[in-house]
Amino acid sequence: MRLIELEIHNIRGICDLLLKPNGKNLVVWGSNGSGKSAVVDTIDFLLTGRISRLTGKGTGDIKLEKHGTHIDHKPEEAMVRAVVSIPNYPEPIEIKRCMLNPGNLEYSDPEAKPYLDPILSIAARGQHVLTRREILKYITAEPSNRAQEIQTILDIREIEDIRKTLVKVENSCEKDFDGAKKALTIAVGEITATIGIKSFEVETVLQWVNDRRALLGAVPIATLNSAEVKANVVAPVFQAKEAPVNPSELKTHIENLVGFLSEENVDTLLQTDADLRGNLQQVQTNPELVRSLKRLRLFQLGIDLIDDTGTCPLCDRPWDTSQLREHIQQHINEAELAQQLQSNIDLKSKSLSGALSDVLARIKQVLDIAAVAGLKEEKSNLELWRDNLDQIVELLVNPVEKYKTSEYTTTKLRSMLAVPGVEPALDRVSTFIESAYPKTTPQQEAWDSLTKIETRLGSYEKTRDLLMSNALIYNRSAILHETFILTRDSVLKSLYDSVRDRFVDLYRQIHDSDESTFTAEIKPDEAGLDFTVDFYGRGSHPPHAMHSEGHQDSMGICLYLALAEKLTRNVIDLVILDDVVMSVDADHRKQVCKLLSKSFPNNQFLITTHDRTWANQLRSANIVDSEGMIQFYNWHVTTGPQVDFQADIWGRIDTDLIKDDVSSASGRLRQNGEQFFAMVCDSLQAPVVYKLSGSYDFGNLLDGAIGQYRRLLAKAKNAAQSWGRNEEFEQLQELDSIVTEIYERTNAEKWPINPAIHYNNWANLSKPDFQPVVEAFRDLYGVFICSKCSKLLHLVTANGKQESVRCDCTQIHWNLVPKEKGAKKQ
Amino acid sequence: MTAQQDQDKSIPQQVIENALAKLEGRDEFPEAIISKLKELAKKGRLDSQKAIIEAISIEPEEPPCV
């Protein structure tokens, strides 16, 4: 996007202003408080509907509708209109925004909206403006703040949002997986408790089922499957009349539970727990081991992702495939200790949770009977015990994350494993069973057992399928998350590397004279972004640690331009630099000019400055032409700034003279003359009487400029003669006469002897006396400017020797080097 | 994809597309899941926990019996 026209009404210190940069660079300069930054604020408002300067820390009481308008003006009177050209859109369009409805951007052509949207999106991130405040964000900020600022500007917050979501997805899937794992442990416990075995083995369970089927006269089944457990088994005829209670099975459960409560059994369990907590403490107190465990999965994933492209899937850098495989394998080997530890933890926690699940399944059976019997106290004791054991099983599902050994001490664990009062309660339930349920026949018992195992096997099959499905989904979520992180790191690294390379390249262009080997590092570190720069080959330091403020300003500009280039290429060409070279010295500012001209020829710059020298340097370096030089001065609360369009200087002086206003015309000529001849002195490298104050007046600068011009012209004539270029000599001779005549008409030579015509007294001249002076200076300006390319003449030197005077298009080209003695004439 | 094509995309787009490309062809991620994730990325819905879980829970269709 380029700015063709900008019209401002009643915004931030400007009453009415129309600028017509026509897509070219613009320099707005003027003293502090002259209203320059209001132009920046207005463009900001036009593109974003807000004014950045009125937002952020310490701006709580500042409101756009109250403080965005020019003082004493209503929001409906504050408006900005612009004509802009947009990439890929055939015609420039007009856009408008009013402070009354800041959220609404009006378009002259609604069809252009989709083309303008990407530009507005970039502007919304503040990408189009660099102010001194922004420089501080990049250079002196803490790494975390810098990361946030740069992520905002690069629009990569979306990546962080997705990462957070993927973490949540993985956590949620892990939770479901853990839940299914626990459910399966319990389902297995219910089967082993029913059968009375220590561990679940298909062959054992199948044999148990077939034994009972045989008792009921059914053939054995070949596979263990809940649907087949009772297939072709005829139920005993009395089965329906009896309660579904198997007293001998219940008795076995109670005997097992009592055995579990024995001191010997609890000691054995606590010994396994002691081994487990030893391993857990090793992992939990050593973050490196936890990291190794995490990295193990990462490297295993990496080795899986290696293909024939010769690129590492973890860092996206080129690698020899076999070397890469070896390198990653080495990392995997280093994580072996962690892996060993993990398998010990898995083994012990599985052993413990298996024993507890078996007990939980038995408690459940006994609890049902206690409820039927109305044994409230016993039921309550058993429930407390069940809840304690359930809590331990929950810890053992993911012990590294959940089992806090300091919280669950051995003493606490002992009391949870063997709750006081449970054993007598079990005795009372046992007594109740003996009295309430008479012994049943073996066939009835077999039928009841098959019924139970059928249900429990069904539950086992269901939870096993769920676990497999959850494991797959959890695995997918982990791979998705890790692949996203790997890709993010790889893309961001490549992005930051390219930004760094461009930053270093730009900075070296400005500081080639003293830091030609300058280097920098920009790299993400956890949530922050580390930024260090080389200090004259003496190591890397934060940018504001060793370098001067001027160097820091240069770094801010270069980093901003490198970032802007990355993000706005082909979308937004307008770059606003708001008073950003405050601390950069004049020599390095020249280099900044060269940088803008050489490295960013396709951008449109709007540069504001309070510094006349910098403004002149920009003009002299042709960053901006005379039409683009706008001076703000004499700001007043009721009128805003007075604006001087340098390109139209002669038109404005003519207008003053038509109104007989010699005073204004003379002031304008003198002020403009000071700027103009300062630029001439700079481009011709003219000596000027040195003043410590740095305030060179019109007379000094004019003397310097005309004196140097004449010396160079004489040198050019001499050189032309020495080479025998008579025609060239004649032309230079004629030019000399013309310049002498014009200079005489300015009366400048008579100023020292006739104070009445001195430029200090121009304001007192009559219009007829001043008119010829204006004409003479208009002609004198033309002496220093090429009529074809409109650029100032400049002196070309090599190794300290003056070689030529020329303009940009070379229509004017004076050779200053005379023929050496003995060389042939041309 | 050429470097220029990559440059023309936003950075989040590059990350998402490259990540999905890395998952393509992996046994754990059948085509149906990749398609669904691409669809979510296109709609800007990769910040939805529910949508992602639904996508990665898709079971591949069994080939028809012949």
Alpha-carbon span A278 to A713, nearest angstrom: 93
pLDDT at residue B63 tops 50: no
B14 interface with A at CB cutoff 8 Å: yes
Check A169 against B28: CB less than 8 A apart. no
Q: What is the pLDDT of residue A194?
A: 86
B28 interface with A at CB cutoff 8 Å: yes
A160 interface with B at CB cutoff 8 Å: no
Residue B29 is nearest to which of A161, A476, A495, comparing CB atoms?
Answer: A476
Check B26 against A484: CB less than 8 A apart. no
Mean pLDDT across the stretch B27-39? 92
Q: At what angle do helices A586-599 and A612-620 cross, to 10 degrees?
A: 40
Q: Which residue has the tokens 């998705």?
A: A480
Residue A733, CA distances (Å) to A710, A715, A778, A796 in order: 11, 11, 21, 21
Angle at alpha carbon of residue A208, lines to A207 and A214, rounded to 5°: 85
Angle at alpha carbon of residue A590, lines to A587 and A595, rounded to 5°: 130
Check A162 against B23: CB less than 8 A apart. no
Question: Looking at beta carbons, which residues of chain B come within 8 Å of A304?
Answer: 26
Q: What is the pLDDT of residue B5?
A: 46
Check A483 against B19: CB less than 8 A apart. yes
Tell whether B47 is covered by a domain: yes
Q: What distance in Å separates residue B19's CA from the closest CA in chain A?
A: 5
Check A172 against B49: CB less than 8 A apart. yes
Tokens of A492: 């961001």
**Phi-psi bin for A688: left (phi > 0), alpha (psi -120 to 50), beta?**
beta
Tell whether B42 is covered by a domain: yes
3-state secondary structure A759-781: HHHHHHCCHHHHHHHHHHHHHHH
B43 interface with A at CB cutoff 8 Å: no
Alpha-carbon span A725 to A730, nearest angstrom: 9
Q: Which domain holds residue B29?
A: 11-56
Q: What is the pLDDT of residue A94?
A: 94
What is the residue extent of each domain of chain A? 1-128+573-647, 677-815
Alpha-carbon span A783 to A807, nearest angstrom: 12
Alpha helices of A335-441 — where are they, by DSSP H? 336-373, 376-397, 399-402, 410-417, 422-436
3-state secondary structure A407-436: CCCHHHHHHHHCCCCHHHHHHHHHHHHHHH
Q: What distance in Å separates residue A479's CA from the closest CA in chain B?
A: 8
Q: What is the pLDDT of residue A270?
A: 94
Check A165 against B29: CB less than 8 A apart. no
CA dihedral (A340, A342, A343, A346) in degrees, to 10, reads: 160
Spans in chain A with pLDDT lower than 70: 55-61, 125-140, 143-144, 147, 151-155, 237-244, 288, 290-298, 300-302, 304-318, 334, 525-528, 568-570, 646-647, 822-826
A571 interface with B at CB cutoff 8 Å: no
Closest CA to A430 of A289, A274, A252, A584: A252
Tokens of A608: 């504001």
Residue A546 near residue A558, CB atoms below 8 Å? no
**Beta partners for residue A574, in sequence order:** A604
Check B29 against A475: CB less than 8 A apart. no
Question: Looking at beta carbons, which residues of chain A come within 8 Å of B12?
Answer: 155-156, 158-159, 162
Check B12 against A166: CB less than 8 A apart. no
The answer for A 162-221 residues in CB contact with B (under 8 A) is 162, 164-166, 168-169, 172-173
Check B15 against A305: CB less than 8 A apart. no
Long-range contacts of A783-786 (CB under 8 A, 24+ apart): A783/A709, A783/A738, A783/A739, A783/A742, A784/A680, A784/A684, A784/A705, A784/A709, A786/A811, A786/A812
**What residues have CB less than 8 Å from A221, skipping those under 6 apart?**
A206, A209, A210, A213, A228, A229, A231
Check A165 against B11: CB less than 8 A apart. no
> Can you tell me whether residue A573 is helix, strand or coil?
coil
- Count of domains forming chain B: 1
A54 interface with B at CB cutoff 8 Å: no
Residue B53 is nearest to which of A169, A304, A483, comparing CB atoms?
Answer: A169
Alpha-carbon span A208 to A450, nearest angstrom: 9
Question: Looking at beta carbons, which residues of chain A come within 8 Å of B56?
Answer: 169, 173, 473, 476-477, 480
Task: Determine phi and psi for B65, rounding to 5 degrees.
Answer: -70, 140
Decide: residue A256, CB within 10 A, 0-12 exposed, 13-18 middle, 19+ buried. middle
Tokens of A391: 């809590």
Beta strand A14-19 with A26-29 is unpaired
Tell whether B6 is covered by a domain: no
Check A480 against B11: CB less than 8 A apart. no
Check B28 against A479: CB less than 8 A apart. yes
Tell whether B61 is covered by a domain: no
Beta strand A2-11 with A79-85 is antiparallel
Check B12 against A477: CB less than 8 A apart. no
Check B23 against A154: CB less than 8 A apart. no
Q: Which residues of A748-762 are buried (b: 16+ CB within 10 A; e: fewer)?
A: beebeeeeebebeeb
The answer for A 488-507 residues in CB contact with B (under 8 A) is 488, 490-492, 495
Closest CA to A82 of A9, A157, A12: A9
Tokens of A70: 């020019």
Decide: residue B24, CB within 10 A, 0-12 exposed, 13-18 middle, 19+ buried. exposed
Question: Looking at beta carbons, which residues of chain A come within 8 Å of B10?
Answer: 155
Q: What is the pLDDT of residue A315?
A: 59
Q: What is the pLDDT of residue A93?
A: 93
Alpha-carbon span A777 to A758, nearest angstrom: 14
Long-range contacts of A594-597 (CB under 8 A, 24+ apart): A594/A509, A594/A621, A595/A506, A595/A509, A595/A510, A596/A623, A597/A621, A597/A622, A597/A623
Residue B14 near residue B6, CB atoms below 8 Å? yes
B1 interface with A at CB cutoff 8 Å: no
Closest CA to A398 of A168, A187, A167, A176: A176
> Can you tell me whether residue A124 is helix, strand or coil?
helix
**Beta partners for residue A94, in sequence order:** A83
Question: Looking at beta carbons, which residues of chain B come within 8 Å of A156?
Answer: 11-12
Q: What distance in Å separates residue A173's CA from the closest CA in chain B?
A: 8
* Other Cβ atoms within 10 Å of A526 Cβ, number: 9
Q: What distance in Å separates residue B62's CA from the closest CA in chain A?
A: 16
User: Beta-strand (E) ranges in A109-234?
Assistant: 129-131
Tell whether B32 is covered by a domain: yes
Q: Which residue has the tokens 């470097």?
A: B3
Q: What is the pLDDT of residue B2?
A: 44
Tell whether B24 is covered by a domain: yes
DSSP character for A749? G
The answer for A 311-330 residues in CB contact with B (under 8 A) is 313
* DSSP assignment string, A773-804: HHHHHHHHHHHTB-TTT-PBPEEEEETTEEEE
Tell me which chain A residue has its CA closest to the CA of residue B25: A305
Tokens of A699: 């007379």
B18 interface with A at CB cutoff 8 Å: yes
Cα A721 versus chain centre, distance: 64
Check B12 against A486: CB less than 8 A apart. no
CB pairs under 8 A between A and B: 81
Question: Looking at beta carbons, which residues of chain A come within 8 Å of B15?
Answer: 159, 162, 484, 487-488, 491-492
Cα A64 versus chain centre, distance: 27
Check A156 against B11: CB less than 8 A apart. yes
Question: Which CATH code is given to the segment(s) A1-128+573-647?
Answer: 3.40.50.300
In tens, the pLDDT along A772-815 reads 999 999 999 999 988 887 778 999 999 889 999 998 888 899 99
Alpha-carbon span A653 to A659, nearest angstrom: 10
Alpha-carbon span A11 to A81, nearest angstrom: 12
Q: Which residues of A784-795 are buried (b: 16+ CB within 10 A; e: fewer)?
A: bbbeeeebbbbb
Question: Looking at beta carbons, which residues of chain A come within 8 Å of B19?
Answer: 480, 483-484, 486-488
* Other Cβ atoms within 10 Å of B40 Cβ, number: 18
Alpha-carbon span A63 to A51, nearest angstrom: 10
Residue A610 near residue A36, CB atoms below 8 Å? yes
Q: What is the pLDDT of residue A523?
A: 79
